[in-house]
Structure 1
Amino acid sequence: MAIRRAKQKEQVIEKLSQVAPPGETFVACVHVETGPSPWLNAIFDEIPGLGLIVALTRRFYFLTLTNSSVVVNTANRWTNRPGEVVAVFPRHSFPVSRVKRASIWSSMYLQLPTDDKPKRLNIHRYWRVELDQLSAAFPPGSIDPSSQPFEMAPQAQPPFPQQQPYPTPQAQPFPPQQGQPHPPQQQPYPAAQAQPPFPPQPGAPVPPPAAYPQQGAPIPPQMPYPGQPGQPGPEANPYKV
């Protein structure tokens, strides 16, 4: 019994390849089942025998989308192996209506040539990717307004990684090229306060000392206070303490 999607699709393609016209390519394969909504199974099981009757009346199919057609063939209830082909529709005239994509169980109505009215088909979330691919054959106006949007992006190929935006000069500046002058760097404080001044070059005039000596600079000789030995005394203080 085939359980994995890949194995089931492989069996369907192998069977259809025996009768497909030359050059036919297979795009998607979806497993569906007929009958009322599977959400009602819990209610049917409460009535003795009704749940079993509903389960036995369900039919299983494979809907296969090719480059030119939509092929419908039966699926075995117990082994999921594909059976006989029951209908082949041109891709541009796939007779489906009231297509509704849902979170768990999606549904659609398909008009088969052997039925008097459209047959309800239920599609489990397990086949959602293939259902999105099959939506390429849905005619205009066939999707229910309350349906979730279908993702039309190809699912067979891995998605491209999201490209990161190029860095801007403000976010990540590029280093200067060789031979180009370095741009001046802005300092938050004046250079005299952020860094000690460089020593004067030989032959350059020495600037006069500042009012307050800088840290590490030699202290200029202090003038003696008036009254020190060897210096003229101050004038006589007219005020006596």
Structure 2
Amino acid sequence: MAIRRAKQKAQVIEKLSQVAPPGETFIACVHVETGPSPWLNAVFDEVPLLGLIVALTRRFYFLTLTNSSIVVNTASRWTNRPGEVVAVFPRHALPVSRVKRASIWSSMYLQLPNAAKPTRLNIHRYWRAELDQLSTAFPPGSIDPSSQPFELAPKGMPYPGQQGQPFPQQQAYPAPPAQPYPPQQGQPYPPQQPYPAQPYPQQQAYPAPPAQPYPPQQPYPPQPGQPYPPQQGQPYPPQQPYGGQPGHPAQR
């Protein structure tokens, strides 16, 4: 298994020399891998089997810069040996975008043949010098504005833009003119009739009901040993003077 860069680059050049046209010069070789950011591996490993699935779905490639082309060929997962060539792009037409040079893991998006959308490629710091050499083939507008500067990249390469074409300016849609509230089909509103003032009706004075005397109170029946009260409406009988008792001093 080749570990050193020099050994891996020698294997790639040996592989490509078998199919390269005469006089082809090999300038730089970069090892890349697909998939999400490798910084997320620690998160994936927390979920059972997820880290293994992500690791098995990653693909490895070598991007080789020559004096006329950029060659993409596969790399073995276990030995890093170069495999078959999957794409060859002219130096002036490399379909790469969103290139971002970072301190540890750099990234770019490359449109591979038969792929529905650009593929994310991650490049480790171990290959930073070769990535700087490869940056000379990046088209204008392909470098992310948050990227660290490439030491060998051409100056004045604004982002975004695909294939060197800047994004067209956004057209500002004019605001529609203010429309007044449309009248009702040409029919004016009828004039409002004033509500006729009606006097409040006078309150009817209801006659007071005739005074009803309270009914006479019925006396309670006398208790045993109590004198019977006089009948209502009957005057008390005149009091008879006390005759006195025989032998009483008043009879003298």
TM-score (norm 2): 0.60
Q: How many residues align?
A: 153
3-state SS of paired residue (2:122)? strand
Aligned to 1:144: 144
Q: Distance in 2 between matches of 1:120 and 1:67?
A: 25
Aligned to 1:134: 134
Gaps of 5+ in 2: 154-252
Question: What whole-Å deviation, never above 9, does each CA across 1:51-88 have from its counterpart, x for those lacking one?
Answer: 00000000000000000000000000000000000000
Q: Does 1:62 align with 2:94?
A: no
Q: Does 1:34 align with 2:45?
A: no
Moved over 6 A (4+): none
1:114 deviates by 1.8
Q: Distance in 1 between matches of 2:121 and 2:136?
A: 17
Larger Rg: 2
Aligned to 1:80: 80
Root-mean-square deviation (Å): 0.7
3-state SS of paired residue (1:14)? helix
Aligned to 2:49: 49
Q: Distance in 1 between matches of 2:24 and 2:129?
A: 21
Question: What whole-Å deviation, never above 9, does each CA across 1:4-39 have from its counterpart, x for those lacking one?
Answer: 000000000000000000110000000000000000
3-state SS of paired residue (2:14)? helix
Identity of aligned residues (%): 90
Question: What whole-Å deviation, never above 9, does each CA across 1:178-236 have from its counterpart, x for those lacking one?
Answer: xxxxxxxxxxxxxxxxxxxxxxxxxxxxxxxxxxxxxxxxxxxxxxxxxxxxxxxxxxx
Q: Does 1:16 align with 2:21?
A: no
Q: Distance in 1 between matches of 2:142 and 2:132?
A: 14
Q: Distance in 2 between matches of 1:35 and 1:146?
A: 21
Q: Distance in 2 between matches of 1:57 and 1:35?
A: 7
Q: Distance in 2 between matches of 1:13 and 1:84?
A: 13
1:196-207 matches, cutoff 5 A: none
3-state SS of paired residue (2:128)? helix
Gaps of 5+ in 1: 154-241
Aligned to 2:176: none
Q: Distance in 2 between matches of 1:18 and 1:35?
A: 30
Q: Distance in 1 between matches of 2:81 and 2:88?
A: 19
Q: Distance in 2 between matches of 1:72 and 1:114?
A: 14
3-state SS of paired residue (1:139)? coil
TM-score (norm 1): 0.63
Q: Distance in 2 between matches of 1:136 and 1:57?
A: 30
